[in-house]
Amino acid sequence: MESMPKQALVLELNTSPQLGLAAFQFAAAQGFEKLAVYALNAGPSACKRLQIELERLRYLSEFTGEFELCPLPDTLAQAFSPDMTILLLPQSLSVDAQNSELLDLYFSEPMSQLMVGLEAAGVALAEAELEALCRLSETQKVPDAGFFLAEHRRLLQTWSALSLAEAEAEVSQGFGTKLCDINALALWQDGLLAESRELLDALILRAAHDPQDWVAQIALLLYRRRMQNLPLEKAPDWVQALYAELVPGNRLLTLLPPLQDFRVTVVLPTYSRLELLKKAVATVQAQTSADWLLLIGNDASKDETPTYLDQLAQTDSRIQVIHNAQNQGFAGTMQILLAHAQTELVVNYADDQFMQPDLVATTQAFFKAHPWICAAGGGLQISRPDGTGALQHGPYYGQAQIAEAQRELQRHGMICPLGPTWVYRKQCLAEIAAEDTWFCPEGKGYALWDYLISARLMARYEMGYLPEVVMKMFYAEDTMSAQRDNTYDLFHLLQGLLRDYSELFEHPFPLPLAEYYVHFRQLEMLEQFKQKILSADSHEALNRQAERQLKTWHLWHDVKAAIETFCAQDSEVLINMQMPYR
């Protein structure tokens, strides 16, 4: 039997959901096997949104054929032929209820041009079908997101209750197609699945307990998550086929193997600041949980620090001291300490930071409840040593919970959300060391820059946010971080952030956030360039400064290109840009 010709819909970007649903119902009634959808005035970002919207409308309809969202060709003959039925769905379209005739059919200029081109190509417009479609659209009801969430939960609960043999039988009867259809709705993209967090957590614990529980592993894909080191090659063929169909190259969040040791090692470098060091050590000793280790690196201090530390180590077996014979600097000392740390959980501490008494206890409790996460952190209070200039980062949630990755990656487009409050998995710091252009210029060792760490890990794993302030710290203008020109590092961070966001959510990053980020960094870059050039006291010094700034300038152009590629003005902003710290 000869297949039916394609039905072609030409849509304006803001076509109503009722019209879109009616179009799918119309195609189903006509028995069409394929549906080609063309969008006017739609760039890559708009097409991605339209694709998801169409998937959700198709799910509601009785249309079981294939559909494809196609770019509108320059030459109409490349896409349309006389055997096609063309249904034009403009943005403003209505039917008079009195005589059911098409009275108000408004075409924008691109739509008018398209109509002329279609006629020139010999393609007849199906006005009768269009009128019938408009009537049909008046009867369509498009449910809100709650309907799709309920469908998602219902399918997952049904699937999760099956044995492996039952699941195979259901897939052979078409259940796998249902999973693929609900997966195509991209509910994970807009943070909608946060309401299903309880079900997701139960699936993660089940999959972690038995990595070859293939029913649970398949279910996790509907949340865009995957267990690390999943032995997929051991799965039955039908599981591997369904797995590939559900995740055709998409990026997933990785769920780490459960921890066995929940002790926390606090790594603390210090250099000739004995009084501050004593206060920092006291806050570790005052922790309500005794399940911690303290590893202190004395970076060749010139005051009484070495004597104090040796005496301290003799009084508490949990405290170990490493003395550098020569000064290694902050980064060098931190790398030494992290290499010596014997536990997987670590806190990158400093002698001007002061833990709150429950930091270790609350983070340990969160890791035990969510043993697959890579890090957990809470609110941070920053001030100068005299108490002025106080600023608080977070807390961002009213209860301890897994961070909403899409929301928090957006927040990273404005600020460093939690600073140094994180308790990390040490292996994760090693995995992203090459990304830390500030403290790991050779790409070896462990990432140390807290801003970059949280931005990169948020796009790879799940992270826990605590609902209370867990650390206070001093900020001073004479510190390395305050004096260093880190414009290059900040541009590098944004470049990776935009790429990660786009790959993870298949959705553009909000342009206003990216513009906010680069506006201040651009001013900083220009000011730094001016100061460096003016401070050069010789021709050789001028050349050196110019070469250094040229590297940043080239990266700046790369960042502008990334913004054009990965950002969109109309992408939804999920944070309060006026109050990003809360």
Collect all residues with Cβ–Cβ distance below 8 Å to 71 and sequence separation of at least 6.
38, 47
User: Mean pLDDT throughout 212-227?
Assistant: 94
Owner of token pair 């890559």: 44
How many Cα atoms occupy the beta-carbon half-sphere of 388 within 13 Å?
3
Nearest to 191 by CA among 419, 493, 507: 507
pLDDT in tens, 544-559: 777 777 888 889 889 9
Q: Measured in whole angstroms, how far is the alpha carbon of residue 510 from the centre of its chain?
A: 13
The pLDDT of residue 570 is: 81
What pLDDT was estimated at residue 484? Answer: 67
CA distance 93 to 22: 13
The SS3 assignment for 393 reads: strand
Q: Classify the C-alpha dihedral 100-105-111-115 as positive or negative.
A: positive
Identify the pLDDT of residue 87: 56
CB 453 within 8 A of CB 429: yes
C-alpha span between 109 and 127 (Å, rounded): 19
Beta-sheet strands, E only, within 103-177: 104-106
When pLDDT is cut at 50, 70 and 90, the band that residue 482 belongs to is low
Q: Give the list of residues 6+ apart from residue 111 with CB closer than 8 angstroms, or none.
A: 10, 12, 40, 88, 90
User: Residue 306 burial (CB < 10 Å; 0-12/13-18/19+)?
Assistant: middle
Q: How would residue 116 be classed by pLDDT, with cut points 50, 70 and 90?
A: low
Residue 31 pLDDT grade (very low, low, confident, very high; cuts 50, 70, 90): confident
> For the segment 132-178, what is each residue's pLDDT rounded down to a tens digit?
666 666 677 778 778 888 888 889 999 999 999 999 999 999 999 99
Q: Which of 95, 85, 92, 126 has its CA nearest to residue 111?
A: 92
At residue 74, the pLDDT reads: 57
As a whole number of angstroms, the distance between CA 323 and CA 330 comes to 13
Give residues with Cβ within 8 angstroms of 573, minimum separation 6. 410, 510, 512, 513
Share of the chain above pLDDT 90, in %: 52
What is the chain's Cα-based Rg? 29
- Among 54, 37, 44, 73, smallest CA distance to 564 is for 44
Helices (H), 341-479: 359-369, 405-412, 426-431, 450-458
DSSP H/E element including 229: none
Residue showing tokens 């949340």: 223
> Beta strands 7-12 and 34-40: pairing type?
parallel
What are phi and psi for residue 429, nearest 5 degrees?
A: -65, -35
> In the predicted model, is pLDDT for residue 79 greater than 60?
no
For the ranges 199-213, 299-313, 492-506, 518-532, which has the lowest average pLDDT? 518-532
Strand intervals (E) in 219-258: 225-227, 253-255
The whole-number pLDDT of residue 468 equals 95
Q: Which residues contact 172 (CB under 8 A, 6 or more apart)?
A: 238
CA distances from 464 to 165, 288, 422, 461, 556 (A): 36, 20, 9, 10, 32
CA 456, CA 478: separation in Å to the nearest integer? Answer: 28
Instruction: Give yes or no for a contact between 89 and 131, defined as CB atoms under 8 angstroms apart.
Output: no
Residue 22's pLDDT is what?
Answer: 78
Alpha-carbon distance of 249 to 226, in angstroms, equals 13
pLDDT band at 1 (very low <50, low <70, confident <90, very high): very low
For residue 262, give the amino acid letter: F
206 pLDDT tier (thresholds 50, 70, 90): very high
Query: How many Å apart are CA 26 and CA 63, to the nearest integer?
Result: 8
Least confident residue range of 63-77, 230-244, 318-332: 63-77
Cis peptide before 395 (omega within 30 of 0): yes
Predicted confidence (pLDDT) at residue 363 exceeds the cutoff of 60: yes
Query: Which residues lie closer than 8 Å to 173 by C-beta, 6 or more apart?
Result: none
Q: Does residue 251 or residue 255 have the better pLDDT?
A: 255
Phi/psi-derived region of residue 398, left when phi > 0, alpha when psi is between -120 and 50, beta in every other case: alpha
263: left (phi over 0), alpha (psi -120 to 50) or beta: beta
Tokens linked to 197: 């967090």
Q: Among 85-94, 189-198, 236-245, where is mean pLDDT lowest?
A: 85-94
**Sequence-distant (≥ 6) Cβ neighbours of residue 552 within 8 angstroms:** 487, 488, 491, 525
- The burial of 397, by beta-carbon neighbours within 10 Å (0-12 exposed, 13-18 middle, 19 or more buried), is given as middle
Q: What is the pTM of this model?
A: 0.85
For residue 248, pLDDT over 90 is answered with no
Looking at the DSSP bridge assignments, the partners of residue 9 are 37, 87
Give kind and range of the element (H or E) at residue 294: strand 292-298
Coil, helix or strand at residue 380: strand
